[in-house]
Structures are given as C-alpha cells and as structure tokens.
Amino acid sequence: MLRPLTLALALLAAPAAAQDAPAAVSLTRLDCGRATEAWPLNAFDDTGAAANEKKALVGSCYLIRHGSRTLLWDTGIDPATSGDPDGGFILDRTLVSQLEQMGLKPADIEFVGVSHYHYDHVGQAKEFPVSTLLIGKADWDAITHDPPLGNSDPKMFAPWISGGAKMETFTGDKDVFGDRSVVILAMPGHTPGHHALLVRLAGMGPVMLTGDLAHFTANYEREGVPTFNTDRADTLASFDRFKKMAKNVGAKVIIQHEPADVALLPAFPEAAK
Ligand SMILES: [Zn+2]
C-alpha cells in the first residue's frame, strides 16, 4: 500500500517528468553547392600530402529542429556568385527554396549559426534577417575589422552590421537550446573563431559536423592543415579535441565538404532523428 506522502510525490512527479521530456531533435542536410570541377587539393595540406590529389567538393548546410525551434547551420554561397570561377561552386537551389519545401519561411528560423566567415558558408545568411546570428567572436571581430580580415565580407552580414538584427558571439562552446542536445564547439585554426557542431539525435545517436576542420576524408584522417588556415597549432589542437570527443560520445562524424559523407544522412527532405 502506498503511504499518502509517497502517493503525493508520485502525483507531483508525473507532470514534472512530462515537462522535462527532451525535445525531439532532427537533422536535415540541405544542398549548399557543388564544385564546378575537381579541384587540385595541394593547398589543403601544407605538408604536400595532397599534392597529387583532385576532388570535386560539395557544400552542405543543415537544418536542426528542436521541438518547434530551429537552427540553420551554415548558409552556403551567395547565389549571385554561382558558377563564378573564383569561388568554384555552383548553387543549384537556394536555402530559402529548400526550406519552403519543408514548410518553413525565413522568419521561422530562430538561429542562423555559421561555422566560420568564409564565402561558401555565409553567402545566404542575409536572407534570414529576423534570425539570431550565432558566430564565434574572433570571426566576428575579423569581419568587422577595418579593413576586414581573412577575405571576410561584411556585406554578407548586412542585417547584423547595419540593420540591428539580433546576434550572439561566443569564445568557447555554445549550447544552442540549453539542454546540451545541440552544441556549437570551439574548433579554432581554420579561422580564429571557427566552430563545429554536435547534434544529439535520439535514434541515430550523436552526430558531429566538422565545419571546415577538414574538407575531405583523407585530410581528416591525416590531419592535413590547409596553407590558408589562420593558425596551424590551433588547427592541430582542434583535430585532437574533435577526434577525442567523437570517440568519447560515440559520434558519427560528417565532413561537410566531403561528397561521400552526403549519404551518411537521409536524402533531402528527409531528416535524421
Ligand atoms: Zn568551406
């Protein structure tokens, strides 16, 4: 027989448990471009290990749903530069168009997070002026420096630089929804404020998106440091952290520019859960 106090506690516990039930988290890959041709990869490894390699990289962005809340991770190239030989990416379809197919308008995106300030990750951010921008502080400092540093382009961030749009910068990790389910991870070296993303899915398990810590599988395995990275030592430290964390949490690692890794997630518009 339950004593009255035990019964009362059990009754109290039930609604609290329901409130604490974790929000359903899902992850969908969005197309953010493909290389116009196989690129020579020499510059992606400053030891010469990739001197004879060529590869057609892809661009990947991701929608993370957390209950009714949303994070867009990376934003691809500016559609106006599609096919530009300097950029080397073709964009077949904009993010706004892909999100529309999923029943979402730009105003439905709560957070736009970018792994770093390079053109192939920030080109469509300005299509989401109502969203809160999440970006590493060191990258924001480079974008807003006079003159801008690292080939960053302030025009890609006009809503946040001159339009008063909401944003948050951070120096370490950033727990996006406050329950550790989606965490932006400090992985500096490619740029000063470069970040990766950890997404904990109930079914698939943890997934870690590299940002541009590595651009293709061989470079991830041999820890190649691109000649154009801002800090070699930071890059190697980030490889160390990323790989240890992936092992410790048992994460599936997805290299965002690696064509072979596209198939690690369900094909758009399906979501990993
Ligand atoms: Zn990139």
User: What's the N-to-C CA distance of the chain in angstroms?
Assistant: 41
From the CA of 247, how far away is ligand 1's center (Å)? 24
Q: For residue 39, which of 228, 221, 215 has the smallest C-alpha distance? A: 215
Ion ligand 1 neighbours (CB, 5 A) are 120, 212
The rounded Å distance from CA 15 to ligand 1 centre is 45
CATH superfamily, with its number, for domain 24-264: Ribonuclease Z/Hydroxyacylglutathione hydrolase-like (3.60.15.10)
Predicted confidence at residue 163, as pLDDT, reads 82
Q: How far apart are CA 118 and CA 151, in angstroms?
A: 7
**Cβ-based burial of 147 (10 A; exposed 0-12, middle 13-18, buried ≥19):** exposed
Domain boundaries, the chain: 24-264
Ligand 1 midpoint to CA 10 (Å)? 52
Residues of the chain under the 70 pLDDT cut:
1-20
Structure tokens at 43: 């510059």
Contacts (Cβ under 8 Å, ≥6 apart) of 51: 42, 45
115 CA to centre of ligand 1 in angstroms: 9
Q: Say if residue 94 is exposed, middle or buried (CB neighbours under 10 Å; 0-12, 13-18, 19+).
A: buried
pTM: 0.92
Ligand 1 centroid to Cα of residue 242, in Å, is 17
d(CA 118, ligand 1 centre) in Å: 6
| 20 three-class SS | helix
Distance between Cα 100 and ligand 1 center (Å): 24
User: Which pLDDT score is estimated for 21?
Assistant: 77
For residues 190 and 116, is the Cβ–Cβ distance under 8 A? yes
**What spacing in Å lies between the alpha carbon of 167 and ligand 1's midpoint?**
22
Q: Which residues contact 179 (CB under 8 A, 6 or more apart)?
A: 22, 23
Q: Which of 40, 57, 79, 104 is nearest to 255 (CA)?
A: 57
